């Protein structure tokens, strides 16, 4: 996949927050110069979250590490049953705000679906919010998707005030 416009990734990299993706490609690394870090790199994941190391977190793997790629039922089982991978997602949900970019059906996959359910149960009415970037023409559908779960989906996803 070729990157057509760098501006969004450049802007995200200037936020000085961990950048995590469920994409397998190296587009983030191409723009930011970060090294890819997969969910299987346990120590490096912790260092990136703590800010001790720079890296682009690949929550569903990276093509350069084929064993890390989450594509089918078995690989989803691997990541969902991995205590460290699940602890990582939960830690990120508690200590950082998510800015979800390029998510569609991925929000209901077995991994993020389980995270959203955990957030609904563990963090109802949380003060700290998570956000989802959407194209202007997709805002109403995106809001409706999260409102369907009640109170902003219980996952802390909110529509920003205008």
Give residue 157's pLDDT. 47
Overall pTM surpassing 0.85 (yes/no): no
Q: Which two tokens stand for residue 11?
A: 């802007």
Name residues whose C-beta falls within 8 Å of residue 162's C-beta, 6 or more positions apart in sequence.
none
Give residue 117's pLDDT. 87
Burial of 150: CB neighbours in 10 Å, binned 0-12, 13-18, 19+: exposed
Residue among 67, 68, 54, 52 at smallest CA distance from 20: 54
* All structural domains of the chain with their residue ranges: 1-96, 98-162
Query: Do residues 80 and 110 touch, judged by C-beta distance below 8 A?
Result: yes
Give residue 1's pLDDT. 63
Give residue 105's pLDDT. 64
Distance of alpha carbon 48 from alpha carbon 19, whole angstroms: 9
Burial of 72: CB neighbours in 10 Å, binned 0-12, 13-18, 19+: exposed
Q: Mean pLDDT per 10-residue run, the chain (162 residues)?
A: 80 83 89 93 91 90 93 89 92 83 70 86 85 80 67 45 48
Give residue 161's pLDDT. 47
Give residue 106's pLDDT. 66
């Amino acid at each position: 996949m070729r990157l057509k416009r760098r501006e969004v990734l450049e802007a995200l990299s200037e936020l000085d927050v961990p950048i995590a993706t469920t994409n397998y490609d190296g587009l983030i690394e191409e723009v930011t110069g970060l090294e890819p870090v997969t969910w299987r790199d346990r120590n490096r994941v912790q260092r990136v979250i703590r800010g001790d190391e720079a890296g682009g977190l690949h929550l569903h793997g990276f093509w350069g590490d084929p064993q890390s790629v989450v594509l089918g039922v078995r690989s989803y089982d691997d990541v969902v049953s991995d205590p460290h991978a699940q602890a990582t997602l939960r830690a990120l949900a508690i200590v950082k705000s998510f800015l979800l970019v390029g998510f569609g059906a991925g929000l209901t996959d077995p991994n993020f679906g389980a995270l959203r359910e955990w957030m609904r149960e563990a963090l109802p009415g949380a003060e700290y919010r998570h956000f989802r970037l959407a194209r202007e023409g997709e805002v109403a559908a995106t809001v409706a998707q999260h409102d369907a779960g009640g109170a902003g989906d219980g996952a802390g996803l909110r529509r920003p005030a205008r």
